Structure formats: C-alpha cells, structure tokens
Amino acid sequence: MSPPLLRVEGLSKRFGGVVAADTIGLDLMRGEFHAVIGPNGAGKSTLVALLCGEIAPEGGSIRFDGSDITRLPADRRSRLGLARSFQITSLFPDFTALDNVALAVQARAGHSFHFWKDARRDPALRDPALTALAAVGLAARADYRVDRLSHGEHRQLEIAVALASKPRLLLLDEPMAGLGPDETARITALLRNLKGTITILLIEHDMETVFALADRITVLVYGRVIASGDPAAIRADAAVRDAYLGERTRAPMPEHNTKENLLELSGIETSYGLSRVLFGISFAIAPGEMVSLMGRNGMGKTTTVRSIMGLTRAGAGSIRFAGQEIRDLPAYRVAKLGIGLVPEGRQVFANLTARENLVATAANRRGAPEPWTLDKVLALFPRLAARAGSMANLLSGGEQQMLAIGRALMTNPRLLILDEATEGLAPLIRDEIWRCLRALRAAGQSILVIDKNVAALTRIADRHIIIERGRVVWTGTSADLAASADVQHRYLGV
C-alpha cells in the first residue's frame, strides 16, 4: 500500500483559553474521499486553516506527499498542490467569474511577472478556466461579475477556483453552507464526479451528503478526534451520537400560549445578501419561561437571535417584545428595552478588565426595581470575583463566558438570550454555567438558550423549538422531546 498523501500527527492549536485542535492525527490515502464532521466549534475550520497554512500550529506535524510542510506559508502549500475552498465565500468580488478561475490557473502556471501581454486574452489561461467553470455548471456565467452572482453560484465558483489550480488534495470547507436543496443536490453530484479523481477532504454538516460520499469519516469534538472510520462504523459509534443533537423532526406542534407572551416572533424572514437563511420563523416565549432553540448548524439559530436583537434586519414578519414591535429597531434600542444577549464567541471587551466590562455595560440599561449590581454578578460567579481586576483577554474561555453572561445580566434584561454559551468549554465549567442558568430561571428570569447539549437542555428548559433550514419544524416540552423517539433518534444527531 502506498504511503498516505497527507499525514497529520499531534496537531495542536489554542486560541486564548480555548483548545481548537488537540493532538489531531489524520491520514489521507491517495484518491480517498475523507469527511470531517463535528459540532460547531469542534475545530473543523481551524483544522482547514492549519492544513492550508493560514495559521501556525503550536505542536505536531503535517506531511504532504512525504515532505514536511508544517512551517510552509499558504502560497507555497498551494503550489505543492493543496487547494481549498472557503466556508464563507472568499472570491474576488469585482472580477468576473472567469477572471476568478483564470487567476487560479495563472497562479498554477508559474510566476506572474509578465507585464505586457493581455492576460484576459491568453488562451493558455482562459481555456482551462472555462473548462473548470463548465465542470461546475457555471459556463453561462463566465462574464458575470462575482458580486452579481447568487449565493449558490458563489459556492460553485469556490469549487471551480479550487479545481482550476489542479490540486492533488482538495480541502472543501462546508461547500454546501447556506444552500437550498436543489443547489445542495447539484454540488453533491459535482463532488460525486470528482470522487476518485483527486484526494478530497470535506468538512460538512449535511450528514446525508457525508454518508453518501465519504470513504472514511473523522469526527472532531472540542478539537479532538473522537472517532475515525468508514461510514457504517461512525454511524454505530455511541460517542459520535452523543456529540450531536437527536433528530430531524416533522410537523410543527401548536404554539403553547397560556400567559401574555414576553416575546413573539411571527413569519420572520432574514437573508444575508443573496442568501436567504430564515423562511418564516414563528414562536413565542412567556414571562419566566426558559426556551431552547435547537437544530443543526447553519439552520438559522444564530440568525434568529440576530434578527431579534436587530443585529441583522429581518426582511419580513414581526417581532413583538413586551407588546412593542421591535423588528426595525437598532440593536442598542432593543438592548435597552430589556433583551440581554450573550453572543456566540463571547465577544467580551478584550482591553477592559472583567470589572470594567460589567460596569461599562450598565451604562445603557433599563431601570428595574431590583437592578443587577456588580456584587450580585460576582456572587453568581465566584470564579469571576477572584479575577475581576484581570484584563478580559487574559481570562480563560470559561471565565470569559461567565463574564459575557454577567455583562448581559448587568443590563437588567427581561429576556436573557444565550447563543452557544457552553461551546468550547471544559465539562466542569459547562456544569457551572448550567447551574447558574438554573438559578436564574428559578428566580423568574425569562431565558432563550441555544446549545448543542440536548441532555442538559431537557433537564432545565421548559420548552424546545427545533429549527431546520430556516423553519420551525417542531416545538414541545422536555417531556415531549424525551418521549419522542422520532425526534431523538436516527443518525448522529439531528
């Protein structure tokens, strides 16, 4: 058997307090179609960035075709035959589609110190570029500027650009991100055609695609490889199943509505540029209720939260908070009305101390009969009290998370929203966060929480809402969720 094309050993990388890659080992055989899956924040994109040389690892080695490339810069690796596509479309927006691909052909064709001849009329560049465009089904769009193309076409073009450099190894970082079913099917067909012709490493959340295409699958959780094997073995692996949420679900349940609702969403539709993410989200939260928002990655959970907060404006529908329409309000007004957000990735003010973070936030807060104070927050998070004078960027990931929650509480929120508040944290810290949320809920705080940990959510939340491709597909109580085998069951989750 020939040696692997790519051999990764003991690869490690930390970002502040979070371990994004923890002694990752991975072998890619020539011609293999290998998929890497794992929950959000598992370190998949970090792995791609490490492999293509965008960031440097703290430990471990990467060997490509027998030679050590651990320290090579990105452009050298690319010339060795390692091409990538980007999760967030990364093209040349003011170039035409053909120019984008031709530039990749040109980069592969030796140096570009040619100053005179018109590169746009050079058949040595244009012809292979047209071929690559045709391969992804974009030939008719060759002369369109990239910023006039649809999101789906951007994704196709991403692959064309990667293919045009005639790679020996193709790294595809979520090529289906944000695509509708038809476009997903088109890309899947394209990948099926490529399978076997070059070695492919695919990062993808769409499980149907992964199981249909991959020869082998590696599962990452918290930067660690927890399983690696053929699709059947992965499907049967208990640890893998635990890493994901339960199940895809069916018909929406009737909206539960006993009290006057604190928050009411109806028919919310939101897009990022050309890419539609939410297709009419509707749900409600009653005062004192703790509700969870579940679903796979890229299904619209964070976008829902951003739409509520006014960080991304919803194009249609209504969002009522405490009886007031807030859909078109700017984020700072929404915050002042009493919605406190603990954003994904924490986003603490890195150059302020923990104490300053908390105090600064209180400046734009709503009056409340029993306001949150610095002492109350520090009492809730004793661990934070010990480090109140430290700069926020020197806190560990867990401490930063507590700070982010404390900061949201300092606005005296009527509704607290947590987006992936336990992501990337060690189990002990996660337990502490859950303990705090339970205490807050017991004190009557309304909470909307997004999290991957279904077991913990079913223990402490009142109701659950599952979002799939920008639509609410199921709502029910913890008992409903636990009882519904259909919801909890099937492949790795979701």
For another protein, the binding residues (CB under 8 A) are: 52, 54, 73-76, 78-79, 83-84, 86, 90-96, 99, 102-104, 106-108, 112-120, 122, 125, 143-145, 148, 161, 165
Residue nearer to another protein on the CB measure, 104 or 308: 104
Cβ-based nearer residue to another protein, 90 or 393: 90
Q: How far is the CB of 44 from another protein (least distance, A)?
A: 17
Reading the block at residue 206, the tokens are 């769409």
Among the listed residues 397, 476, 467, 388, the one whose alpha carbon sits nearest the alpha carbon of residue 429: 397
For β-strands 263-272 and 316-321, DSSP reports them as antiparallel
91 or 465: CB nearest another protein: 91
Q: Which is nearer to another protein, 173 or 247 (CB)?
A: 173
- Closest approach of another protein to the CB of residue 39, in Å: 25
CA nearest neighbour of 207 among 253, 243, 171: 243
Residues 281 and 473: their CA atoms lie apart, in Å, by 10
Q: What residue ranges in 358-438 does DSSP mark as E strands?
A: 415-419
- CB nearer to another protein: give 147 or 325: 147
Q: Say if residues 410 and 358 touch (Cβ distance below 8 Å).
A: yes
- We find the least distance from the C-beta atom of residue 174 to another protein, in angstroms, to be 15
> Three-state DSSP class for 172?
strand
Q: How far is the CB of 200 from another protein (least distance, A)?
A: 16
Alpha carbon distance 392, 400 (integer Å): 7
Pairing status of strand 324-325 against strand 290-294: unpaired
CA distance 174 to 87: 5
CB of 150 to another protein, least distance (A): 14
Per the CB < 8 A criterion, the answer to whether 157 and 100 are in contact is: yes
DSSP secondary structure letters along 75-86: HHHHHHTEEEE-
- Tell me the closest approach of the beta carbon of residue 175 to another protein, in angstroms: 15
**Of 121 and 258, which CB lies nearer to another protein in the complex structure?**
121
Amino acid at 245: L
Residue 244 in tokens: 């994901």
Nearer to another protein, 47 or 329 (CB): 47
CA distance 152 to 63: 34
Q: Which is nearer to another protein, 173 or 237 (CB)?
A: 173
Residue 256 DSSP code: P
Shortest Å distance, C-beta 124 to another protein: 10
Q: Where are the beta strands (DSSP E) in 333-490?
A: 339-342, 415-419, 446-450, 463-468, 471-477
Residue among 451, 465, 339, 367 at smallest CA distance from 401: 451
In whole angstroms, give the CA distance from residue 73 to residue 55.
9
Q: Tell the smallest beta-carbon distance from residue 94 to another protein (Å).
A: 6
Find where tokens 């650009």 sit: 161
Max CA pair span of the chain: 74
Question: In whole angstroms, how close is the CB of 106 to another protein at the nearest point?
Answer: 6
- Cα-Cα end-to-end distance for the chain: 37
Q: Closer to another protein at the Cβ: 147 or 260?
A: 147
Cα–Cα dist 282/303, whole Å:
13
Of the pair 108, 471, the CB lying nearest another protein is at 108
- Tell the smallest beta-carbon distance from residue 165 to another protein (Å): 6
Q: Please state the closest distance from residue 148 (CB atom) to another protein, in A.
A: 7
Distance from C-alpha of 112 to C-alpha of 134, rounded to nearest angstrom: 25
Residue with Cβ nearer another protein (165 or 401): 165
- Taking the complex as a whole, how short is the minimal distance between the CB of residue 104 and another protein, in angstroms? 4
Nearer to another protein among residue 27 and residue 54 (C-beta): 54
Rounded distance between C-alpha atoms, residue 444 and residue 374, angstroms: 20
